[in-house]
């Protein structure tokens, strides 16, 4: 599903870090994923110095209530990653 080269984790960990390729920014990816029904934490939520944020999101593998729900969420994130960032706000 998600590209292995973009993932960082440990077998004992319930979280996966997904490094985002350009043009994605962490906050934009998280907002787009949330709009599609999946909540992830942008790297900016963990940054002390916001001037040098590596763009990525933390995926919590333990919050899914079933394997099917986890697979569905990971597929949705894979689709989001393949899309170009889209604006979530209309112009006035």
Q: Which of 77, 55, 74 is nearest to 66 (CA)?
A: 74
**Rounded Cα distance, 2 and 46, in Å:** 22
| Residue 88 placed within a domain | no
Tally of domains within the chain: 1
Residue-level pLDDT at 88: 59
| Residue 89 placed within a domain | no
**CATH code of the domain containing 61:** 3.90.1150.10
3-state secondary structure of 24: coil
| Residue 76 placed within a domain | yes
Q: What is the pLDDT of residues 77-92, one digit of tens each?
A: 999 999 878 765 555 5
Q: Is the dihedral of CA 52, 23, 90, 76 positive or negative?
A: negative
| Residue 64 placed within a domain | yes
| Residue 56 placed within a domain | yes
| Structure token digits, residue 41 | 């934490």
| Residue 52 placed within a domain | yes
**Residue 88 or 7, more confident:** 7
Q: What is the pLDDT of residues 53-85, one digit of tens each?
A: 889 999 999 999 999 999 999 999 999 999 878
Domain residue limits at 71: 4-82
| Structure token digits, residue 38 | 């999946």
Q: Is the dihedral of CA 63, 65, 71, 72 positive or negative?
A: negative
Average pLDDT value over all residues in the chain:
90
């Amino acid at each position: 599903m998600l590209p292995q080269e973009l993932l960082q984790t440990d077998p004992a960990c319930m979280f996966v870090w997904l490094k985002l390729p350009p043009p994605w920014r962490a906050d934009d990816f998280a907002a787009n994923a949330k709009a599609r029904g999946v909540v992830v934490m942008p790297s900016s939520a963990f940054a002390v110095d916001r001037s040098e944020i590596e763009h990525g999101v933390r995926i919590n593998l333990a919050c899914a209530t079933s394997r099917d729900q986890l697979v569905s969420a990971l597929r949705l994130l894979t689709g989001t990653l393949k899309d170009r960032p889209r604006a979530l706000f209309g112009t006035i």
